[in-house]
Structure formats: structure tokens, C-alpha cells
Structure 1
């Protein structure tokens, strides 16, 4: 029973849970403005925002657990200053940078969107893609379970899902743009 709640198990679990929630948030963000889901947009937006903040809170818990871990100790500087960690310098930094990018996007979306204006906000919001990729690389490279078949399935499936949803989103946006261009030509 103590192994179930060991520091190592909680660090791994919180890392995967944070990855899941932020992948869910990104997925919901990609589909919320699709034409076929127009009637579900408000619900999808709410789930998108909630999964983002829950994911960030889970990652904060993950960071606190790493800070308190005795087996591979990290100082606060190593956790919050990219490229400062002695253990896995590059991959630890990618996790830190990913967290900062996700946090910036969530903060700007929920608290500064009106002040920034739509165009600046949208440009900042695009940082979720590099943030997600950095998080994926961090998890694959530094995660102790990353070579396990179930972990590889999670990473592979989520990567495939994000790529497919990006393609669908781009295709849907292109179709909307083409449709509005045709309407403008008729006027």
C-alpha cells in the first residue's frame, strides 16, 4: 500500500495526469470552433478551460513532489529556471518551458484577453502547440515509464490525435474562409 502512495509513484502519476489533462484541453481547443460542433461550442470552451487549469494545477503538484523527492533531489532554482537542473538538463528544461508556455496561455486567456485584444491573444494562444510538443518530449525523455508499452501507446495515440485534429481544424478553417470569400464575391 505504501508503494501505491510513494513519492515516485505520485510523481509519475501526476506527470501522466497533467499530460492527459493538457492534451484534453488542446484537443477540445482544436475542435471547439469546428463547423459541425457549432451548437456545442460553449460546452466545449468550458471543458477546454477547466481541463487546462486542472492540468496546470496537476503539473504544479508534480513540481512540488519532484522538489520534495529525496531520490533525485531538485532545488527550486532547478525546477523553475530552465537549463539549471543538474539531472537531465535539457529534458528538465523542456518541462519547465512547457509549463511556462501553458501557464502564459491560460493566464492570458482567462485574465488578459480583453486587454490584449483578439489578435495578440490569438498569437499568444498558438504557444500551446510548442508547449504541448515540449511536454511530450519531456515525458518521453525523462519519464521513468516512457519505454513501457502502455506509456508508448499513450504518447503515440495522443500525438496521432493532435495531428489529426490539427488537420481537421486547418481544413475546416480553409473551408470557412473559402465559403466567406464566395459570399463576399456575390455581394
Structure 2
């Protein structure tokens, strides 16, 4: 097993891979959040909603995929790697368990949101909508995970990216709550 892990580490620089996958996952989840909220506004045209829904769904699934790669690749790290338990069980990591745990919980929330979205008809709209609202805390947990744990926060550009993306989500969330939505076409009211 050690030989296999060494080979993987030689081919795939683990820490660069996990950082790139984590940042990619965060940006894709941000795009999914924005597209989902925008399509619920009453001023959005039907064709705009359709385009945004495709973007919302595809960026959500790709964000989930990159999030899974982000965590799982750490199993292959030779030094300071994580066990499967530390990767899949929230707060089980021996170091920085809070920060890692937030990322794991965010991942599980996104999995739940994505899977139930594909099976919305089986769950019913009310149940689906309730579960879909988990996307907000999932996004916040992913943001906190990246800011508190991510080594890239040493770079000004990454900090600016986190501030701008979080600001956009907050603004859209406030607008969505205060200005109302088109109930007939809202992404959360399908």
C-alpha cells in the first residue's frame, strides 16, 4: 500500500490537487447558489430561468464532484494524510477538527440537496423545498471551511474572492427575502 501511495503522490501532487479541487468546488457551489437564487426572482424571464436552472444544476453537481475529490485525495498524502474516518466523519480529524468537520458537513448537505433535487417528485415539493434550504448553511460551512483551513487565504486575491462571493450571496439572499419571488417559477417552489 505504501508503494501505491508513493506512486500516486509522485504522479499527483496531493496538496496542490486538494487545494485546486477545494477552490474549484467552492466557486462552482457559489455559481450554483447565485443561479438558484436569481431564477427565483419575479423579474426573471422564462428563458432566463431555464438557462439559470441548467447552470444551477450543473454547477451544483460539478461542485459536489470537486468537493469529493478535494477531501478524498487527502487519503493519499504521504505526510499528514487523513484516514478514511477523518475524511468521512465530521470532527474526527486529529488536528483542526472543527475546520475539517465544517467541510465534511457541508459536503453531506450538498449531497442531500443534490440527490433530493433529482428525486423531487418522489419526495414532494414541500419536503424537497425544506431540504433544498440546506444549501444556505452548506454554502456558509464551505466558506468557513475554506477561510479557516485553506492555506490560500494567505493570498490577497483569494481573500478578495471569498469576500466578494460571500457578499454577493448575502445581497441576493436579502433581496430574495425582501422583494419576493415568482412563486410559479421560483427554484425553491417547483
Whether these two folds match at TM > 0.5 is: yes
User: How big is each residue's C-alpha offset from its partner over 1:35-54, in whole Å with a ceiling of 9 and x where there is no partner?
Assistant: 22132111111110000000
Matches within 5 A, 1:65-104: 65-104=73-112
Runs of 4+ in 1 over 2 A off after TM superposition: none
**Higher relative contact order (CA closer than 8 Å, sequence separation 6+):** 2
Query: Which residue of structure 2 lines up, in the alignment, with residue 183 of structure 1?
Result: none
CA distance in 2, matches of 1:88, 1:44: 37
Distance 1:38 1:123 in 2: 25
Q: RMSD across aligned C-alpha pairs, in angstroms? A: 1.8
Tell me what 1:6 maps to. 13
Is it true that 1:46 corresponds to 2:59 in the alignment? no
Count of aligned residue pairs for this structure pair: 173
Give how far 1:171 is off: 2.7
Q: TM-score, normalised by structure 2?
A: 0.86
> CA shift at 1:71, angstroms?
2.5
The equivalent residue for 1:184 is none
C-alpha separation between the residues in 1 aligned to 2:29 and 2:19? 15
1:26 partnered with 2:43: no
- In the TM superposition, residue 7 of structure 1 has moved relative to its aligned partner by 1.6
Query: How far apart in 2 are the matches of 1:64 and 1:89?
Result: 16
8 Å CA contact 2:72, 2:87 repeated in 1: no
Q: Which runs of 5+ in 1 are unaligned?
A: 178-187
Map Cα deviations across residues 87-116 of structure 1 (whole Å, 9 max, x no partner).
2111110000000001100000012x1121
Task: Determine helix, strand or coil for the equivalent of 2:180.
Answer: helix
**Residue 35 (structure 1) aligns with:** 42
**Partner SS state of residue 37, structure 1:** coil
